[in-house]
Amino acid sequence: MRFLLGFIIFALMASPVLAIGNVTVNGTNMAPVYVNTRVVYNFLNISLNATAGTINVTSFNVTVKGVGVGNITLVRLINESGSVIASNTTWNTTTNYTVLSPSGGVDVSINRSLLIAINISYSAARTSNITVNLSSGLTTNNTADNISIFAQSIGAQVQDLHVNATITPRNVDTNVANQSFVYSFVYDGQDRIYGMNVTLPFGFSTPYVSNVEDSSNLSLASSDYSVTTSLRTFNISFGSGGVTLRSGPRIKVFFNTSTNSSTTISAAINSTVSGSNFTSLPSEVNDATNNVTMKQLVNVSSVSITKSTAIVNGTDYWEFNFTLNFTANITGNLQMNLTNWTSALGNIPLTNLTGDGFYTSLRDNGNWSNIMNVTNVYNKTVAVQGCCTEGTVYYVLLRMIIPTGTAVTNSWSTTYNFLFRST
């Protein structure tokens, strides 16, 4: 999957000068050793010098040699400030050249520098060669001008390695232990992928990769890849065989990481892939599908007591109504934890002495079968399932059964916390 890519500056036409001058053109190669399809690369730095006044160059004829212009979809002329002053996508298919005509021309006197940039075609031919050099073809309206051109470019080998990356979920709560994510790599090229690296934004802990799936939603054998992790980063290596042709156009990485208790961020997941002759090639991402926002997702608008007295018989209860709203469009599970109830006379635990009986529960006020037991800590597998829209109101009921032997007083208190575990 390779070929050499190049072009020739064939002719530079200029406006007339009043005296015989010397025009010198030097081309310095800027082409990387390897280039990727569908990417614009600076290929040559053209240095122009003239004597006997200023020469106004009005057009540049850029010629591709080798397999033809089908490998190039765009040529640009860029000035010293980085602005594109001319471009063309139309080619003479007989002689394989295109004309760049900057508006007003380019005044050349001393030390004028321009860049020639090209875009490699999506369908660039492989295993073919295109030579690269700068031939003598500069002309002015004064035929007596002396023109000297010295330029030689190396060949660039074309690869086709493109990967789109997305992350789900994209909104997560703060202070979530082992928040689950799925990072998907969708392949859009013909070179194999040998490895990938993912770096999470600040505020996340060291990730743990739990599974890797192919396009058929089948887990890859653990012998087919290796994983290394460090703070906010994981790296997956598929070995010398790569994965693309074996497992299809998609790789899904399942991983867990904990979110910070206070950090609020909205930032992109940085990912790179390696394959063929590229290492650490950035994935092609869309911020809308690759950004993660970490913030408080649940706000308690109000708490009201719906039942404040109970007979101390092990079945009667207190009950509280919580009005919640959400700060993002999310799906997943609402979770709650609670401290033991305390007063000057003692405390009320949330479970029985053996830990297999629960006194406290939380349920969806709109669906009483959607219920969870509440303990002192968040339990990843226990939650009130639901999905919410930003700005909507959600009601849940907390019920506390009063166990036998509880001291009779009106000074019981507790501290509660909510979080939303996104999926």
Give me the CATH number covering residue 323: 2.60.120
What's the pLDDT score for residue 43? 86
Q: Does 302 score more than 90 pLDDT?
A: yes
> What average pLDDT does the segment 312-321 reach?
97
> What average pLDDT does the segment 42-55 reach?
82
Let me know whether 280 and 175 are in one domain: yes
Let me know whether 183 and 307 are in one domain: no
Q: Does 17 score more than 70 pLDDT?
A: no
| Tokens linked to 295 | 């913030």
Let me know whether 200 and 63 are in one domain: no
Let me know whether 97 and 226 are in one domain: no
> What average pLDDT does the segment 257-284 reach?
90
Query: Who wins on pLDDT, 419 or 154?
Result: 419
Let me know whether 99 and 116 are in one domain: yes
What contacts 221, CB < 8 A, 6 or more positions away?
A: none
Let me know whether 16 and 56 are in one domain: yes
Q: Are strands 171-172 and 265-268 parallel, antiparallel or unpaired?
A: unpaired
Q: Which of 236, 271, 294 is the last residue of a domain?
A: 294
Highest-scoring range by mean pLDDT, 51-55, 203-207, 392-396? 203-207
Q: Does 245 score more than 50 pLDDT?
A: no
Let me know whether 282 and 304 are in one domain: no
List, for residues 323-360, the tens digit of each pLDDT value. 999 999 999 999 999 999 999 999 999 998 877 789 99
- Weakest mean pLDDT among 23-37, 135-149, 161-175: 135-149
What's the pLDDT score for residue 16? 45
Let me know whether 399 and 329 are in one domain: yes
Let me know whether 11 and 150 are in one domain: yes
- What total number of domains does the chain contain? 3
Report the percentage of the chain scoring pLDDT > 90: 48
Q: Which of 159, 182, 201 is the last residue of a domain?
A: 159
Give the side-chain half-sphere CA count within 13 A for 146.
5
Let me know whether 210 and 282 are in one domain: yes
Q: Does 177 score more than 60 pLDDT?
A: yes
List, for residues 59-84, the tens digit of each pLDDT value. 777 777 655 556 788 889 999 999 99
Q: Which of 261, 276, 294 is the last residue of a domain?
A: 294
Domain that residue 351 falls in: 298-422
pLDDT band at 258 (very low <50, low <70, confident <90, very high): very high
pLDDT band at 117 (very low <50, low <70, confident <90, very high): confident
Per the CB < 8 A criterion, the answer to whether 77 and 87 are in contact is yes
List, for residues 88-109, the tens digit of each pLDDT value. 888 777 666 777 788 888 888 8
Q: Does 207 score more than 80 pLDDT?
A: yes
> What average pLDDT does the segment 14-26 reach?
60
Give me the CATH number covering residue 59: 2.60.40
What's the pLDDT score for residue 144? 54
What contacts 187, CB < 8 A, 6 or more positions away?
A: 162, 163, 193, 244, 248, 249, 250, 251
> What average pLDDT does the segment 376-401 reach?
88
Report the percentage of the chain scoring pLDDT > 70: 83
What's the pLDDT score for residue 373? 94
| Tokens linked to 173 | 């709560």
Give me the CATH number covering residue 288: 2.60.40.740
Q: Does 118 score more than 60 pLDDT?
A: yes
Cα torsion 230, 236, 239, 241 to 10°: value is -170
> What average pLDDT does the segment 419-423 reach?
94
**Dihedral of alpha carbons 302, 306, 310, 315, sign:** negative
pLDDT band at 15 (very low <50, low <70, confident <90, very high): very low
Let me know whether 314 and 260 are in one domain: no
> What average pLDDT does the segment 207-221 reach?
89
Per the CB < 8 A criterion, the answer to whether 117 and 149 are in contact is no
Let me know whether 155 and 80 are in one domain: yes
**Dihedral of alpha carbons 201, 204, 206, 207, sign:** negative
Dist. CA 156–CA 131, nearest whole Å: 9
